[in-house]
Copies of this chain bind each other. A is one copy, B any other.
Amino acid sequence: PGLMNHHHPRSKLMEFPYVSAPHRNLMVDIVSKVEAHLSSSLLPCTLPQDVEYFENESGTAQSALLVRSAVPSSQIDFILGSWLHCGLPTGGALNITSFSGYLNSSTDAPNFLVELIQSSPTSMILILDLPPRKDLVLHDEYLKTFYEDTLLDDKRKHLEKLVEVKPYFTSSLYIRSVVSPTAIMVRIETGTDEAEQLEEIVRDHVSPIAKEVLQIWLELCACGKREVEQEEMIALAKRDKITKSKTIEIDLGSNLPRLFGEVAAARVLESLKEVY
Protein backbone atom coordinates (compact mmCIF):
# COMPACT_ATOMS: atom_id res chain seq x y z
CA PRO A 1 0.00 0.00 0.00
CA GLY A 2 2.92 2.39 0.61
CA LEU A 3 4.01 2.03 -2.97
CA MET A 4 0.46 2.40 -4.22
CA ASN A 5 0.04 5.61 -2.29
CA HIS A 6 3.25 6.91 -3.74
CA HIS A 7 2.15 6.38 -7.32
CA HIS A 8 -1.53 7.24 -6.84
CA PRO A 9 -1.82 9.77 -4.07
CA ARG A 10 -5.26 9.45 -2.49
CA SER A 11 -7.47 12.40 -3.30
CA LYS A 12 -8.56 14.81 -0.61
CA LEU A 13 -12.03 13.37 -1.16
CA MET A 14 -11.16 10.08 0.51
CA GLU A 15 -10.27 11.79 3.79
CA PHE A 16 -13.95 12.50 4.53
CA PRO A 17 -12.90 14.47 7.61
CA TYR A 18 -15.18 15.76 10.37
CA VAL A 19 -17.70 12.93 10.07
CA SER A 20 -17.97 9.91 12.40
CA ALA A 21 -15.97 6.74 11.72
CA PRO A 22 -18.97 4.68 10.49
CA HIS A 23 -20.03 7.53 8.21
CA ARG A 24 -16.47 7.89 6.81
CA ASN A 25 -16.11 4.13 6.41
CA LEU A 26 -19.33 3.97 4.44
CA MET A 27 -18.27 6.71 2.04
CA VAL A 28 -14.76 5.32 1.58
CA ASP A 29 -16.20 1.85 0.97
CA ILE A 30 -18.62 3.14 -1.65
CA VAL A 31 -16.03 5.11 -3.59
CA SER A 32 -13.51 2.24 -3.34
CA LYS A 33 -16.00 -0.38 -4.48
CA VAL A 34 -17.03 1.69 -7.48
CA GLU A 35 -13.43 2.48 -8.43
CA ALA A 36 -12.43 -1.17 -8.10
CA HIS A 37 -15.44 -2.50 -9.99
CA LEU A 38 -15.21 0.00 -12.82
CA SER A 39 -11.43 0.53 -12.83
CA SER A 40 -10.96 -0.49 -16.47
CA SER A 41 -13.50 2.14 -17.56
CA LEU A 42 -12.58 5.13 -15.41
CA LEU A 43 -10.20 7.89 -16.43
CA PRO A 44 -8.15 9.77 -13.81
CA CYS A 45 -9.66 12.82 -12.13
CA THR A 46 -8.71 15.92 -14.11
CA LEU A 47 -10.11 18.58 -11.82
CA PRO A 48 -7.72 21.47 -11.08
CA GLN A 49 -6.20 21.26 -7.61
CA ASP A 50 -8.18 24.27 -6.39
CA VAL A 51 -11.39 22.46 -7.30
CA GLU A 52 -10.40 19.09 -5.91
CA TYR A 53 -10.12 20.90 -2.58
CA PHE A 54 -11.14 24.41 -1.62
CA GLU A 55 -11.99 26.43 1.47
CA ASN A 56 -13.29 29.88 2.31
CA GLU A 57 -11.03 32.69 3.56
CA SER A 58 -11.60 32.04 7.23
CA GLY A 59 -11.26 28.27 6.80
CA THR A 60 -14.66 27.60 8.38
CA ALA A 61 -15.98 26.07 5.17
CA GLN A 62 -14.11 23.35 3.29
CA SER A 63 -14.96 21.02 0.44
CA ALA A 64 -13.41 18.33 -1.71
CA LEU A 65 -14.57 16.92 -5.03
CA LEU A 66 -13.65 13.94 -7.15
CA VAL A 67 -14.90 13.55 -10.71
CA ARG A 68 -13.82 10.74 -12.99
CA SER A 69 -15.07 10.46 -16.54
CA ALA A 70 -14.99 7.14 -18.35
CA VAL A 71 -13.67 5.71 -21.60
CA PRO A 72 -16.16 6.15 -24.46
CA SER A 73 -16.63 2.39 -24.90
CA SER A 74 -18.03 2.00 -21.37
CA GLN A 75 -21.59 2.58 -20.14
CA ILE A 76 -20.35 5.08 -17.53
CA ASP A 77 -20.72 8.79 -18.08
CA PHE A 78 -18.85 9.82 -14.93
CA ILE A 79 -18.73 9.37 -11.18
CA LEU A 80 -18.81 12.26 -8.72
CA GLY A 81 -17.93 12.25 -5.04
CA SER A 82 -17.92 15.18 -2.63
CA TRP A 83 -17.76 16.26 0.94
CA LEU A 84 -18.56 19.62 2.41
CA HIS A 85 -17.88 20.85 5.92
CA CYS A 86 -19.16 24.11 7.28
CA GLY A 87 -18.90 25.43 10.81
CA LEU A 88 -22.20 26.82 12.04
CA PRO A 89 -22.57 30.02 14.12
CA THR A 90 -24.12 27.85 16.86
CA GLY A 91 -20.82 26.03 17.32
CA GLY A 92 -22.02 22.93 15.51
CA ALA A 93 -21.24 22.00 11.94
CA LEU A 94 -22.95 20.95 8.74
CA ASN A 95 -21.39 17.96 7.00
CA ILE A 96 -22.58 16.72 3.63
CA THR A 97 -21.04 13.73 1.88
CA SER A 98 -22.32 12.43 -1.43
CA PHE A 99 -21.54 10.07 -4.23
CA SER A 100 -23.27 9.66 -7.58
CA GLY A 101 -22.72 7.48 -10.61
CA TYR A 102 -24.07 8.62 -13.96
CA LEU A 103 -24.46 6.31 -16.95
CA ASN A 104 -24.30 7.39 -20.60
CA SER A 105 -26.90 6.92 -23.31
CA SER A 106 -25.59 3.54 -24.47
CA THR A 107 -27.81 2.21 -21.68
CA ASP A 108 -31.09 3.41 -20.17
CA ALA A 109 -30.37 1.86 -16.75
CA PRO A 110 -30.76 4.04 -13.63
CA ASN A 111 -28.04 6.18 -12.05
CA PHE A 112 -26.83 5.84 -8.46
CA LEU A 113 -27.05 8.42 -5.70
CA VAL A 114 -26.19 8.44 -2.02
CA GLU A 115 -26.07 11.55 0.15
CA LEU A 116 -25.71 11.93 3.92
CA ILE A 117 -26.45 15.35 5.36
CA GLN A 118 -25.56 15.78 9.00
CA SER A 119 -26.42 19.04 10.74
CA SER A 120 -25.99 17.84 14.34
CA PRO A 121 -24.46 14.82 16.09
CA THR A 122 -27.95 13.37 16.60
CA SER A 123 -29.63 14.13 13.30
CA MET A 124 -28.97 13.02 9.74
CA ILE A 125 -30.76 13.07 6.40
CA LEU A 126 -30.14 10.12 4.11
CA ILE A 127 -30.90 10.06 0.40
CA LEU A 128 -30.24 6.74 -1.33
CA ASP A 129 -31.64 5.91 -4.73
CA LEU A 130 -31.26 4.59 -8.23
CA PRO A 131 -32.83 7.58 -10.02
CA PRO A 132 -34.62 6.40 -13.17
CA ARG A 133 -33.68 7.77 -16.58
CA LYS A 134 -37.09 7.33 -18.18
CA ASP A 135 -40.68 8.22 -17.38
CA LEU A 136 -41.73 5.21 -15.29
CA VAL A 137 -45.39 5.75 -16.10
CA LEU A 138 -44.68 4.93 -19.75
CA HIS A 139 -42.20 2.12 -19.14
CA ASP A 140 -43.68 -0.77 -17.29
CA GLU A 141 -40.87 -3.20 -17.99
CA TYR A 142 -38.32 -0.68 -16.71
CA LEU A 143 -40.19 -0.27 -13.40
CA LYS A 144 -40.39 -4.04 -13.05
CA THR A 145 -36.75 -4.77 -13.93
CA PHE A 146 -35.05 -2.13 -11.83
CA TYR A 147 -37.45 -1.46 -8.96
CA GLU A 148 -39.85 -4.39 -8.45
CA ASP A 149 -37.70 -7.43 -9.26
CA THR A 150 -34.75 -6.02 -7.28
CA LEU A 151 -36.95 -5.73 -4.17
CA LEU A 152 -35.48 -2.28 -3.56
CA ASP A 153 -38.52 -1.23 -1.55
CA ASP A 154 -37.69 -3.82 1.13
CA LYS A 155 -34.65 -1.73 2.04
CA ARG A 156 -36.77 1.37 2.46
CA LYS A 157 -39.18 -0.65 4.60
CA HIS A 158 -36.35 -1.96 6.76
CA LEU A 159 -35.22 1.56 7.64
CA GLU A 160 -38.79 2.79 8.04
CA LYS A 161 -39.27 0.28 10.88
CA LEU A 162 -36.64 1.94 13.07
CA VAL A 163 -38.22 4.36 15.53
CA GLU A 164 -35.43 6.89 14.90
CA VAL A 165 -36.28 7.05 11.17
CA LYS A 166 -38.92 9.31 9.61
CA PRO A 167 -39.69 9.99 5.95
CA TYR A 168 -37.97 13.16 4.72
CA PHE A 169 -39.53 15.49 2.14
CA THR A 170 -36.96 17.68 0.44
CA SER A 171 -38.20 21.19 -0.27
CA SER A 172 -37.16 20.82 -3.91
CA LEU A 173 -40.11 19.43 -5.87
CA TYR A 174 -37.66 18.83 -8.71
CA ILE A 175 -35.56 16.44 -6.63
CA ARG A 176 -38.75 14.67 -5.53
CA SER A 177 -39.60 14.22 -9.23
CA VAL A 178 -36.16 12.94 -10.18
CA VAL A 179 -35.97 10.11 -7.64
CA SER A 180 -37.52 6.67 -8.01
CA PRO A 181 -40.60 5.32 -6.20
CA THR A 182 -38.28 3.24 -4.00
CA ALA A 183 -36.02 6.16 -3.08
CA ILE A 184 -34.91 6.20 0.53
CA MET A 185 -35.32 9.77 1.74
CA VAL A 186 -35.33 9.77 5.51
CA ARG A 187 -34.41 11.80 8.53
CA ILE A 188 -32.68 9.86 11.31
CA GLU A 189 -33.08 11.49 14.69
CA THR A 190 -31.72 10.05 17.93
CA GLY A 191 -32.04 11.09 21.56
CA THR A 192 -30.40 14.30 22.72
CA ASP A 193 -26.60 14.18 22.93
CA GLU A 194 -26.34 10.54 21.96
CA ALA A 195 -24.02 10.76 18.96
CA GLU A 196 -23.15 7.12 19.53
CA GLN A 197 -26.66 5.98 18.77
CA LEU A 198 -26.65 7.69 15.37
CA GLU A 199 -23.25 6.19 14.60
CA GLU A 200 -24.63 2.74 15.39
CA ILE A 201 -27.57 3.25 13.05
CA VAL A 202 -25.20 4.33 10.28
CA ARG A 203 -22.97 1.31 10.90
CA ASP A 204 -25.67 -1.33 11.41
CA HIS A 205 -28.44 -0.20 9.06
CA VAL A 206 -27.54 2.62 6.66
CA SER A 207 -24.18 1.19 5.67
CA PRO A 208 -25.29 -2.37 4.76
CA ILE A 209 -28.32 -1.06 2.87
CA ALA A 210 -26.32 1.55 0.94
CA LYS A 211 -23.83 -1.14 -0.08
CA GLU A 212 -26.60 -3.50 -1.19
CA VAL A 213 -28.14 -0.79 -3.35
CA LEU A 214 -24.70 0.02 -4.75
CA GLN A 215 -24.17 -3.66 -5.56
CA ILE A 216 -27.44 -3.75 -7.49
CA TRP A 217 -26.37 -0.65 -9.38
CA LEU A 218 -22.93 -1.99 -10.23
CA GLU A 219 -24.16 -5.37 -11.44
CA LEU A 220 -27.54 -4.63 -12.97
CA CYS A 221 -27.14 -1.02 -14.14
CA ALA A 222 -23.51 -0.03 -14.66
CA CYS A 223 -22.49 -3.40 -16.11
CA GLY A 224 -25.78 -4.97 -17.29
CA LYS A 225 -26.56 -4.89 -21.01
CA ARG A 226 -29.65 -3.12 -22.31
CA GLU A 227 -30.92 -2.68 -25.87
CA VAL A 228 -31.19 1.02 -26.65
CA GLU A 229 -32.31 2.19 -30.07
CA GLN A 230 -30.93 5.28 -31.78
CA GLU A 231 -34.04 7.37 -31.22
CA GLU A 232 -34.12 6.43 -27.55
CA MET A 233 -30.45 7.35 -27.13
CA ILE A 234 -31.27 10.87 -28.23
CA ALA A 235 -34.16 11.07 -25.77
CA LEU A 236 -31.95 9.71 -22.97
CA ALA A 237 -29.16 12.18 -23.71
CA LYS A 238 -31.66 15.04 -23.63
CA ARG A 239 -33.21 13.96 -20.34
CA ASP A 240 -29.81 13.26 -18.76
CA LYS A 241 -28.59 16.70 -19.72
CA ILE A 242 -31.56 18.33 -18.02
CA THR A 243 -31.32 16.28 -14.82
CA LYS A 244 -27.57 16.86 -14.49
CA SER A 245 -27.72 20.62 -14.95
CA LYS A 246 -30.80 20.98 -12.72
CA THR A 247 -29.16 18.86 -10.03
CA ILE A 248 -25.99 21.00 -10.07
CA GLU A 249 -28.10 24.13 -9.98
CA ILE A 250 -30.14 22.96 -6.99
CA ASP A 251 -27.31 21.26 -5.10
CA LEU A 252 -24.45 23.66 -5.60
CA GLY A 253 -25.80 26.77 -7.33
CA SER A 254 -26.99 28.40 -4.14
CA ASN A 255 -24.71 26.80 -1.53
CA LEU A 256 -21.29 27.36 -3.07
CA PRO A 257 -21.44 31.15 -3.52
CA ARG A 258 -22.87 31.54 -0.03
CA LEU A 259 -20.19 29.38 1.59
CA PHE A 260 -17.09 30.03 -0.52
CA GLY A 261 -17.72 33.35 -2.25
CA GLU A 262 -18.59 34.08 -5.86
CA VAL A 263 -15.10 33.58 -7.32
CA ALA A 264 -14.45 30.11 -5.93
CA ALA A 265 -18.03 29.05 -6.63
CA ALA A 266 -17.76 30.11 -10.28
CA ARG A 267 -14.44 28.25 -10.64
CA VAL A 268 -15.90 25.03 -9.22
CA LEU A 269 -19.12 25.20 -11.24
CA GLU A 270 -17.16 25.84 -14.44
CA SER A 271 -14.99 22.78 -13.85
CA LEU A 272 -18.01 20.62 -13.14
CA LYS A 273 -19.90 21.84 -16.19
CA GLU A 274 -17.07 20.56 -18.38
CA VAL A 275 -17.82 17.04 -17.23
CA TYR A 276 -21.59 17.31 -17.03
- Contacts from A to B (Cβ < 8 Å): 135-138, 140, 143, 147-148, 153, 156, 160, 167, 169, 173-174, 176-178, 181-182, 238-239, 242-243, 246
Contacts of A173 in B (CB 8 A): 136, 143, 147-148, 153, 181-182
Contacts of A153 in B (CB 8 A): 169, 173
Closest to A183 in B: B176
- A136 vs B242: C-alpha distance in the bound complex, in angstroms? 11
Closest to A171 in B: B153
From residue A133, how far is it (CB to closest CB) to chain B in Å?
Answer: 9
Partner of A178, one of B137, B147, B242: B137
From residue A240, how far is it (CB to closest CB) to chain B in Å?
Answer: 10
Partner of A242, one of B138, B169, B238, B239: B138
From residue A132, how far is it (CB to closest CB) to chain B in Å?
Answer: 9
- A168 vs B63: C-alpha distance in the bound complex, in angstroms? 37
- A135 vs B242: C-alpha distance in the bound complex, in angstroms? 12
Known: A137-B239, A147-B173, A153-B169. 10 other contacts (CB 8 A): A135-B135, A136-B174, A137-B177, A138-B239, A140-B242, A143-B174, A148-B173, A153-B173, A156-B169, A176-B181
Contacts of A239 in B (CB 8 A): 135, 137-138
Residue contact A136 to B181, C-beta cutoff 8 Å: no
Partner of A181, one of B143, B148, B177: B177
Residue contact A177 to B242, C-beta cutoff 8 Å: no
Contacts of A138 in B (CB 8 A): 135, 238-239, 242
A–B complex contacts, Cβ < 8 Å, 24 sampled: A135-B135, A135-B137, A135-B138, A136-B173, A136-B174, A137-B174, A137-B177, A137-B178, A137-B239, A138-B238, A138-B239, A140-B174, A140-B242, A143-B173, A143-B174, A143-B177, A147-B173, A148-B173, A153-B169, A153-B173, A156-B169, A167-B167, A173-B182, A177-B181
